[in-house]
Amino acid sequence: MGSTGKSKKRLSTARELTRVVTDYYLECHRARAEGRPVGWMPPMNGGIEIFYAMDLQPVFPENWSPVCAAFSLAPGHFEISEGMGYSRDLCGYLRNIVGYVHSDMNGPGVPLGGLPEPDMLMSFGGGCVPAMKIFQILESRFPRAKVFRADVPQVACEDIREHHVDYAVSEIHRLIEFLERTTGRKLDQERLHRTVELSDAACRLWDEIMSLRRCRPAPISASEIGIMFVMVTRQGTQTAVDFLTRVRDEVAERAEQGIGVIEDELVRLFWDNIPLWYNMGLFNEFEGLGGVVVAETYSAAWSLRLDASDPVRALALKSLMSYSLVSCLSIERRKEMVLKACRDYGIDGAVFHRNKSCVPITLGQDEIIRALDEELGIPSVTIDADHMDSRNFSHAQFKARTDAFMEMLLARKNG
C-alpha cells in the first residue's frame, strides 16, 4: 500500500496553478448555472478547441481522476465501482470515475464542488479501451445528455496517411454540426482560427518549457508536471497561453541564473509512464539522494504543433496524434523518442513505471530498457505500481529498488 504524498513545488507560477485549477472548476459550475452547455469529453483531442470557440464548457472526467487521487477520494470511488462489479484489474481512471458519478457528485466533502452534470457527452471510438468504456458507462449514468459518438482512427503517428486524416476531418465537421444543432450556437470560423492559434501557442510554450529542462542544473523537475493541467483543460484559451508564458519566463530565469531544483544535482533521471497521482511526492524522494527527474514520456503528448491556416485539419491531426504519441506508436518510434530525450536531457538513469492501470504505455517498455542499455549505456529501474490505485503500490518496495538504483548511479558518476 502506498502512502499519499504531495510533491514539493519550487516555482511560484506552479503554486499559482492552484488558482488556475480552482478558476477552471468555478467556470464549469458557472456555465451550468448560466445555462451555458456543458460537455464531458476525453482529453487530447480537437474537440476542446471547438468547445472554447463556441463558448461551450468542456469538462474532462479523466482529468478529474488525478484530482480525486490527490484528495484521497479515489479509494472511496473504487469501493463503489468495485461493489458494482467492476474488476480491480480495470484501469483506475475507469473505476474512479464510475465510482465518482455513482456517488454524491457535488456533495459537501467533494473538492472544488465536483463536476457539473453533462448536457452532452463526447463518447469516443478511439483512444484506449478504458477511455472509450468510461463514456459508454457515462451514457447510461446520464441518459438525458445528448451523445456525440465520435470516431478517431487508432493509428501510429508514423503510419498516418491521407485517408486517416480525411476521416478525422469528416468527424470534426460532424462534431461541429452536432454542437450547432444541439446548442443552437453557430461556430464562428474566425474565432476557431484564433482558438487554434492559441492552442498552437500553448504547445510552443510547452516545448520551450520542456527544452529549458535540458539546462544543468535543471530548473524544474517532474514534480512540477501539474502544469500540464492547462494543456489538458485549457488548450485554445488565452488563460493557458498567459499561464504558460509566466511559467516559461520563470523557468528561463531560473535556468539563466543557474538555480536548480536542488542545490547539488548529481544524477539526472527520466520517468516513463504516468506519474502516481496519489503520491507525486515520490519525485522529491529522488532529490534527497541527489537525483532530479528532468524529462518524462508523458509530457510528449502535447509536443505537437497546430497549423491555424486550416483549423479543422489541424484539430483532426491533433486528435490523431495526441493519443498515439504516448501509446500506440511503434516501439521503434518510442525508442527513438526516449533515446533522443535521454541524449538531449543528459540522462544518467531511467525509471520505468510498470503501470497496472495503463497497459498501452507499459507494453514495450522492456524493449526500450534494452535499447537504453545497449545503445546509450543508460541503466534503468522498473517500479511496479499504478497511477491511480495505491493498493497496487508498495512504497517499501519502491524505496528498496530506487535507493539501490540511485546508489549504483552515484557510484558510476564517481567511478
Partner 1 sequence: MHPHAAMEPFLEAVQYRRQRLEGAVSRGEKVIGYFCTYTPVELIHACGFLPVRIWARTGPAEKACAQVPGFICPYMQLSLENALSGEFLFLSGVVQAYTCDVACGCVNIWKATFPDLLVHSIPLPYNVSPEAGAYLRSCLEETVEKLVSAGGTYSDEALAESLDLYGRIRGILSALHEQRAQGTLAMTSADLNVVAQAFFAMDPVHYLMMLERLVADLNSCRSILAPGIPVLVSGSVVEDAGIISLVEALGLRVAADDLCTGLRAFTPASAAGQNPLEQVGNRIMKRFPCPARSRQSQRIPLVLDLVKSSGAQGVIFLFQKFCTPHLADYPAVCGALKDAGIPSILLELDGNAGMEAQALTRLETFAGMVGA
Question: Smallest gap, in angstroms, from Cβ of residue 288 to partner 1?
Answer: 29
Q: How many CA atoms lie within 13 A of 123 on its CB side?
A: 20
**Least CB distance from residue 91 to partner 1, whole Å?**
7
Considering the complex, what minimum distance in angstroms separates the CB of residue 275 from partner 1?
18
Q: Which three cell numbers stand for residue 219?
A: 530548473
User: Should residue 170 be labelled a site residue for partner 1 when binding is judged by CB under 8 A?
Assistant: yes
Burial of 123 (0-12, 13-18, 19+ CB in 10 A): buried
Among 8, 29, 36, 174, binds partner 1 (CB under 8 A): 174
Number of residues near partner 1 (by CB under 8 A): 48
Q: Give me the least distance between CB of 128 and partner 1, in Å please.
A: 5
Question: In angstroms, what is the minimal distance from the CB of 135 to partner 1?
Answer: 9
Q: Which of 8, 29, 133, 191 binds partner 1 (CB under 8 A)?
A: 133
With CB under 8 A as the contact rule, the residue among 366, 391, 403, 410 that binds partner 1 is 366
Give the residue, chosen from 13, 63, 123, 284, that forms a contact with partner 1 under the rule CB under 8 A. 123
- In angstroms, what CA-CA distances link 30 with 47, 115, 140, 254, 273? 20, 11, 25, 37, 34
77 sits near partner 1 (criterion: CB under 8 A): no
Choice from 92, 360, 385, 390 touching partner 1 (CB under 8 A): 360
Q: Which of 383, 303, 376 is nearest to 342 (CA)?
A: 376
In this complex, which beta carbon is closest to partner 1, that of residue 53 or of residue 94? 94
Q: Where in 227-266 is the site for partner 1 (CB under 8 A)?
A: none
Q: Which is closer to partner 1, CB of 161 or CB of 411?
A: 161
Q: Alpha-carbon Rg of the chain, whole angstroms?
A: 21
- Asked whether position 137 contacts partner 1 by CB under 8 A, the answer is yes
Between residues 356 and 387, which has the closer beta carbon with respect to partner 1? Answer: 356
Assess 322 for contact with partner 1 (CB under 8 A): no
| Cβ proximity of 120 and 37 under 8 Å | yes
Give dist(CA 409, CA 379) in Å, integer: 8
Q: Is the separation of the CB atoms in 98 and 134 below 8 Å?
A: yes
Stretch that binds partner 1, among 54-62, 106-114, 162-170, 277-285 (CB under 8 A): 162-170
The single residue among 26, 129, 400, 404 that binds partner 1, judged by CB under 8 A, is 129
Q: Taking CB under 8 A as the rule, does residue 100 contact partner 1? A: no
Least CB distance to partner 1 at residue 71 (A): 25
CB of 316 to partner 1, least distance (A): 12
Residue count of the chain: 415
Q: Smaller CB distance to partner 1: residue 87 or 414?
A: 87
Tell me the window of 48-56, 119-127, 240-248, 265-273 that interacts with partner 1 (CB under 8 A).
119-127
Q: Whose Cβ is closer to partner 1: residue 144's or residue 263's?
A: 144
Interface contacts to partner 1, rule CB under 8 A? 84-87, 89-91, 94, 123, 125-126, 128-130, 133, 136-137, 139-140, 149, 151, 153-156, 159, 161, 163-164, 166-167, 170-171, 174, 327-328, 330-332, 354, 356, 359-360, 362-364, 366-367
